[in-house]
């Protein structure tokens, strides 16, 4: 199957990309549909399947987790928690080069996130916000098409920097009933001893509501497939979540001087994640656009994950020739991509004008894929247009800021008339009476 970039006009891109805006559950492929049919014994859509699994886990705890892991993953996991000796063995058996890479990446990610740590109260002695880390969080590390130890680093490190006391990792079980060795190795490297071999909606439900052997968490973070994302949406409110993650996205603005081969390589790098991934190149140079199309076809055809890339390109990959850089920037802002790459002579000029992107990579020597591993900023990013209102996962996502009010009598007296007036305007005399009672005692 060949992979090609379709050529779209700016107006066509707007219409074409509109279908990805806002959270939508991904369409299931034939294999996933057949899996649900086998697991449930009847035709069922993804959302109904997720809700049924969540209800079962809430009602039956560990038994339900084991049952659904068997039905969905085809693995009988009698105990989800991976023994700590197995975690240590996984790290010890990792090749020295991979272990060194994980350690170096962890150090750089930690150093970047340390800058976000906040311990100072915000306000004055009478009224302030106090930073407090969450007590317990769950970090989901996907399995399936690939292992993602980098996701373990990106999810766990900011939680530890924030001061979270208890971190639990969940990842789909392997055939042996454990988790992927690289996920186990990354957990051990970070000092996390609680790793559960469970995936999908049953993992999210177990973290959100707890079971006999798994304590419930305050917040769940980390990307996953359609079932994980739907489950996170379903449990939100009973537990916090980071975001609703969709397929990977990259948008490149390529200007004069950009190397078409670099642009094509970046597009391919993100499409290899998932058949539903998005890749778009915007340029004001028709000849550059033609070069990107040619280089993309060549790079995609020889890629190791060519089938996935071709499937994604057939759905969601395009090149657009814009009339100006201003038009390109406006289209990029409307798209609000997860990853925005700026390449060519105007890259630095455009960098600080970007207003809607999860992560910005500026210049030829800043490939998007370096951000997936070791640049420093988090690779858990908003998708499906959510970059309009949030950025990467950060230390702040693992903090809460309760407000504290501690007035002296004179401070209360000085503000009481304002409160009386507003309480009267709102028709809530009891509010004013609670203040007046204190001041009358003082007199």
* Residue-wise pLDDT tens digits, 1-52: 678 999 999 999 999 888 777 666 666 667 777 778 787 878 888 888 999 9
The CATH number fitting domain 84-241, selected from 3.30.460.80, 3.40.190.10, 2.60.40.1180, 3.40.50.1980: 3.40.50.1980
* Distance from C-alpha of 268 to C-alpha of 297, rounded to nearest angstrom: 10
The token pair that represents 380 in the structure block:
């858990």
Quick one: average pLDDT of 367-379? 97
pLDDT digits (tens, 9 = 90+) for 50-69: 999 999 999 999 999 999 99
- Enumerate the CATH 3.40.50.1980 domain ranges in the chain, comma separated: 6-23+246-375, 84-241
* Distance from C-alpha of 139 to C-alpha of 373, rounded to nearest angstrom: 17
Q: Would residue 196 show up in a list of annotated catalytic residues for this protein? A: no
One of 212, 338, 348, 421 is an active-site residue; which one? Answer: 338
pLDDT score recorded for residue 17: 84
- What number of other Cβ atoms are within 10 A of residue 237's Cβ? 9
Strands (E), 192-277: 195-197, 219-221, 240-241, 249-254
One of 180, 196, 273, 339 is an active-site residue; which one? Answer: 339
- Distant-in-sequence, close-in-space partners of 377: CB < 8 Å, separation ≥ 6: 112, 359, 371, 392
Fold of 6-23+246-375: Rossmann fold (3.40.50)
pLDDT score recorded for residue 36: 80
Judging by DSSP bridges, how do beta strands 127-129 and 403-405 pair with one another? antiparallel
Distance of CA 75 to the CA centre of its chain: 27
pLDDT digits (tens, 9 = 90+) for 315-342: 999 999 999 999 999 999 999 999 999 9
Q: Is the pLDDT of residue 441 over 90?
A: no
Q: Would residue 339 show up in a list of annotated catalytic residues for this protein? A: yes
Quick one: average pLDDT of 147-163? 96
The model's confidence at residue 305, banded by pLDDT at 50, 70 and 90, is very high
| Alpha-carbon dihedral angle through residues 241, 246, 252, 253, given to the nearest 10 degrees | -70
């Amino acid at each position: 199957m060949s992979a090609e970039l379709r050529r779209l006009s700016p107006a066509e891109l707007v219409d074409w990309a509109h279908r990805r805006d806002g959270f939508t559950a991904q369409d299931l492929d034939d294999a996933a549909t057949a899996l649900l049919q086998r697991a449930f014994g009847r035709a069922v859509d993804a959302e109904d399947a997720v809700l049924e699994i969540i209800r079962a886990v809430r009602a039956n705890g560990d038994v339900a987790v084991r049952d659904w892991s068997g039905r969905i993953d085809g693995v009988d996991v009698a105990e989800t928690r991976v023994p700590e000796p197995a975690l240590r063995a996984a790290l010890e058996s990792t090749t020295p080069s991979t272990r060194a890479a994980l350690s170096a990446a962890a150090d750089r990610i930690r150093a970047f996130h340390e800058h976000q740590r906040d311990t100072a109260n915000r306000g004055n002695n009478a009224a302030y916000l106090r930073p407090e880390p969450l007590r317990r969080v769950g970090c989901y590390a996907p399995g399936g098409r690939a292992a993602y130890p980098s996701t373990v680093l990106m999810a766990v490190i900011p939680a530890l920097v924030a001061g979270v006391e208890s971190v639990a990792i969940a990842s789909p079980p392997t055939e042996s009933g454990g988790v992927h060795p690289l996920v186990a190795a990354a957990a051990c490297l970070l000092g996390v001893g609680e790793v559960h071999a469970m995936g999908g909606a049953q993992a999210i439900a177990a973290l959100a509501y707890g079971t006999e052997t798994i304590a419930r968490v305050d917040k769940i973070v980390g990307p996953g497939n359609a079932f994980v994302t739907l489950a996170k949406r379903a449990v939100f409110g009973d537990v916090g979540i980071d975001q609703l993650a969709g397929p990977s996205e990259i948008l490149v603005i390529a200007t004069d001087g950009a190397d078409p081969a670099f642009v094509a390589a970046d597009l391919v790098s993100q499409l290899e994640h998932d058949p539903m991934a998005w890749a778009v190149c915007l340029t004001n140079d028709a000849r550059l656009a033609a070069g990107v199309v040619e280089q993309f076809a060549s790079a995609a055809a020889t890629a190791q994950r060519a089938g996935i890339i071709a499937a994604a390109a057939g759905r969601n990959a395009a090149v657009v020739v814009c009339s100006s850089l201003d038009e390109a920037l406006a289209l990029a802002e409307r798209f609000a991509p997860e990853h925005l790459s700026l390449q060519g002579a105007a890259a630095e000029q455009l960098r600080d004008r970007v207003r809607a992107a999860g992560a910005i990579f500026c210049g030829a020597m800043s490939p998007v894929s370096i951000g997936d591993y070791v640049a420093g900023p988090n690779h858990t990013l908003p998708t499906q247009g959510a970059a309009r209102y949030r950025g990467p996962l950060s230390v702040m996502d693992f903090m809460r800021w309760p407000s504290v009010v501690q007035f002296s009598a004179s401070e209360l007296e000085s503000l009481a008339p304002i409160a009386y007036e507003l309480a009267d305007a709102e028709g809530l005399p009891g509010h004013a009476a609670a203040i007046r009672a204190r001041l009358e005692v003082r007199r």
